[in-house]
Chains A and B, each alone.
Chain A
Amino acid sequence: MSELDDNQAQRDAIAVDRTKGDFKYEENYAFDAGIGLSAKVVDYISNVKGEDAWINEFRQKALKIFTDLPMPTHWATEDLKNIKFDEIRYYLSKGQKASRTWEEVPDDVKETFERLGIPEAERKFLAGVEAQFDSEAVYSRMKDEMSKLGVIFCGPTEGLRDHPEIFRKWFGKVIPAGDNKFAALNSAVFSGGSFIYIPKGVKVAQPLQAYFRINAENFGQFERTLIIADEGSEVTYMEGCTAPKFETATLHSAVVELVALKGAKIQYITVQNWSANVFNLVTKRGVAEEDAEVRWIDCNIGSRLTMKYPGVVLRGKRARGEVLSIALANDGQHQDTGAKMIHAADETSSNIIAKSISVGAGRSTYRGLVHIPKTLRNCKNNTECDALLINEHSRTDTYPAISVRGQKNSVQHEASVSKVSAEQIFYMMQRGLTEGEAMSLAVNGFVNDLVKEFPMEYSVELKRLIELQMEGSVG
């Protein structure tokens, strides 16, 4: 093969690599729901999982809702129409895995792993070579420690089977199947994800990480997570990792429900770096009872389209809700993110800080919803959304819907759009930084105060990730 062919082959490999077609599936219908969505597919999933009848009913109802609901293109982007629901595999069981060999993984991907410092053991998993990330040891150690405290940490299938008395009460209640079209889709075909219960008064010191629970099912696109923090308990949960994961599918639609009972605290941290062909349509919501706190830290990088508006329903007196989010949209990407705060009790407070970065022809949209009815007193909201544009082709839109009634409530809203100017870049380059380094320094500066809120290892990774994104964005 000539060098030219070689280069072409490599380019092709990279070009198709991140689409599902490039992965080989073993043809084994015993473990495969096939392509497309139907009542039969939903039954199949329930069967394979050995689910109770009520769950199958829940799924089937959700499927009907999904089919009936229109695509929300009256407010969201038309690009949603390009999702080909008939071509998607909705379920792959454990015996069935997408695979390719390490040799087939493009060099630039291997290099990215190298540069991000991804441990050897995890690279093969992330590259889609292995469907199982071999972290059993770490996971089981964590599981042992947790079960001593009475903490339940498992997947939804096990959770609903082994602890129905705990999970059934809340499952699908914070986010009902009918909440939106994609929540309905997830409710119909969910598999993988985490179910967590923290008993009364237990304060889990170490963050729980989904990372250790990654398995064949999580390659799947329809994760379902429910976390219940009982009275006075505290937990931090971290999802995702900064490495580019090689998705086998282009549609990801997760549902995450959080329940913080009286005086409990839940902090949910997401750092995701999607490949550029992925639709990432996620519904996340938490309920905070009296004196409870729900905090979302959400960091979205990449994807073709991300739609995600983490929310908190402040249901008890003095409940607090917070969303801190960072979104980075590169060329050809659209980050449509935001936050929802529904105040439903007196003296509740909420805080939203959203920062978006648009690079090249990237586009970011902020959608906020803050609702304080006039019957409530002494509620507070602070909303701050800042957009950074890297050049003149990038775009940002802000839709802050704030409905606050009543005399005794206060809101504060600030929005800013800034640009990294050519003069700033020149100034930094005059000090010896390359254009890419200058841009990533400016971007890191822009998100700096938010990143401080992140756990240490995440903030370091995030910084490196931003550097890689910026380097890639300059010619």
Chain B
Amino acid sequence: MPDSLVIKNLNASIGDRAILKDFSLTVPKGEVHAIMGPNGTGKSTLAKVLAGHPDYSVQSGEAFIDGEQIIGQEPDAIARAGLFLAFQYPSEIPGVTIANFIRAALVARQAKGAPFDAKAYYAELYAKMDTLKMDRKFTSRFVNEGFSGGEKKRCEILQLMMLKPKYAVLDETDSGLDIDALRIVSEGVNRLRGPDMGFLVITHYQRLLEYIVPDRVHIMYDGRIVHSGDKDLAIELEAKGYDWVKKDLASA
């Protein structure tokens, strides 16, 4: 499918432990899909495998961004092809300011030697920071160094807004955010929603999905999707818990 993020029968492991087991999912561009699932079922693993993390090995399966195979490509090539990952645990980069970091990421997307419009860049950066209610002082702080949990998540969304990928995977972006921050960050994401971007939102809480209303909700268990439905599935899950999914599976 040309205008989708397509994951087909993906099997991936770390060491000799299989984590993704025949995982399949399609996120059409313009849609928001949520993935929920118990701790340790492989949600972050999925995100990292898609992003080309070198620690994981893929035994079989495929993944495409608008028809372009990404499995087997280097992480930077996948990023430039249009996949953005908002990390569950973002890394700190001492000595590198947020402004310089995002700038370097944008320059990496330009043709070699092309001029960079610094004035327009800062105008846009400040506007996006205003949207996220981030203090401008943040531009000169070092990437994630000494940030609170919530500040890190906001900084991930700032990068997402500046880099404008084709598909964004948000891995528990809501965890660590206070109530106001959750609303602000969600608004930021909602502004990005549109026909040109697809989202895969990993979360444990239905609350986030009240702000970012998903087109589809998937339940992941033991390395694959075991249930899919519309936004009401998240509400059902919140009420019943995961035991219901497990029982369901056992009886199937």
Contacts and interface: CB of A to CB of B under 8 A. Distances in A.
B238 to A, nearest CB: 31
B26 to A, nearest CB: 22
Interface stretch (A50-58, A201-209, A435-443): A435-443
Contact of A446 (B52, B74, B92, B94): B94
B104 A427 contact: no
Contact of B76 (A423, A433, A449): A433
Contact of A448 (B54, B95, B163): B95
A423 B95 contact: no
Contacts of B76: 429-430, 432-435, 438
A428 interface: yes
B105 A445 contact: no
A433 B55 CA distance: 18
Interface in B85-134: 85, 87, 90-96, 100-102, 104-105, 108-109
A445 B95 contact: yes
Interface in B46-100: 51-55, 74-76, 78-80, 84-85, 87, 90-96, 100
B142 interface: yes
B54 A441 contact: no
B79 A431 contact: yes
Interface residues of A, number: 25
Interface residues of B, number: 31
Nearest to A440: B104
Q: A-side binding surface: helix, strand, loop or mixed?
A: helix
Which of A424, A444, A446 counts the most B-chain CB atoms under 10 A from its CB?
A424
A456 interface: no
A430 B101 contact: no
Contacts of A428: 91, 93, 101
Contacts of A448: 95-96
A430 B75 contact: yes
Given A423-B91, A435-B76, A430 B96 contact: no
Contact of B159 (A431, A441, A447): A431
A426 B54 contact: yes
B85 A430 contact: yes
Contacts of B79: 429-432
Given A424-B93, A430-B51, A445-B142, A437 B87 contact: no
A77 B102 CA distance: 43
A447 B102 CA distance: 19
B152 to A, nearest CB: 11
B86 to A, nearest CB: 10
A8 interface: no
A422 interface: yes
Nearest to A418: B94
A432 B105 contact: yes
B163 A445 contact: no
Given A430-B51, A433-B108, A446 B95 contact: yes
Given A421-B91, A441-B101, A426 B96 contact: no
Nearest to A435: B76
B108 A432 contact: yes
Interface string A441-466: 11011111100000000000000000
Interface of A: 418, 421-424, 426-435, 437-438, 441-442, 444-449
* 10 tightest Cβ-Cβ pairs between the two chains A and B: A445-B95, A445-B96, A427-B91, A429-B75, A431-B105, A448-B95, A432-B108, A432-B79, A429-B76, A424-B91
Given A426-B53, A432-B109, 5 more contacts: A423-B91, A427-B90, A427-B93, A431-B104, A433-B108
12 contacts: A422-B54, A424-B91, A427-B87, A429-B74, A430-B76, A430-B78, A431-B159, A432-B76, A432-B79, A434-B76, A441-B93, A442-B96
